[in-house]
Amino acid sequence: VRIPFATAHHASIAKQVIEVDRELQPQAVKRVLEVQDDVLVATFSTLTVRLARLTLNAFLENVDLVVRTISEFGADSERRPT
């Protein structure tokens, strides 16, 4: 799955945030997250189609939350030097 971001920095943030949590069934689901330019690339391999559906749904919900957070606070976070 390829998720484009506005900048490489944002894509990297999303990768770091999502990869902290382990997959619920690490023995049945393999996940690899990487950033290519400003795109977050997630590669999943699962034992069953059902697991693929569940894993992908959860991943997309998490990505959606991170994207909305960056969208809401991203501009403000860059406005002032910390």
Partner 1 sequence: MPGRVRRSPLKSPERAYLALGLEGSANKLGAGVIKHDVDGSSTVLSNVRHTYITPPGEGFLPRDTALHHREWALKVINDAMKNAGVSIHDVDCICYTKGPGMGAPLQSVALVARTLSLLYQKPLVGVNHCVGHIEMGREITGAQNPVVLYVSGGNTQVIAYSRQCYRIFGETLDIAVGNCLDRFARVINLSNDPSPGYNIEQEAKKGRRLLPLPYATKGMDVSLSGILTSTEALTLDKRFRADNQTRGPEDQDVFTPQDLCFSLQETVFAMLVEITERAMAHIGSKEVLIVGGVGSNERLQQMMGIMAHERGGRVFATDERFCIDNGIMIAQAGLLSFRMGHQTPLLKSTCTQRFRTDEVHVAWRA
Give the helix ranges, DSSP H, for 1-82.
8-19, 49-79
Cβ 54 to partner 1, closest distance in Å?
11
53 belongs to the binding site for partner 1 (CB under 8 A):
no
Which span sits near partner 1 by CB under 8 A: 27-35, 36-44, 45-53, 57-65? 57-65
50 belongs to the binding site for partner 1 (CB under 8 A):
no
Site for partner 1 in 5-44 (CB under 8 A): 13-14, 16-18, 20-22
Q: Which is nearer to partner 1, 16 or 45 (CB)?
A: 16
Give the helix ranges, DSSP H, for 2-48.
8-19
CB 6 within 8 A of CB 30: no
CA distance 82 to 66: 21
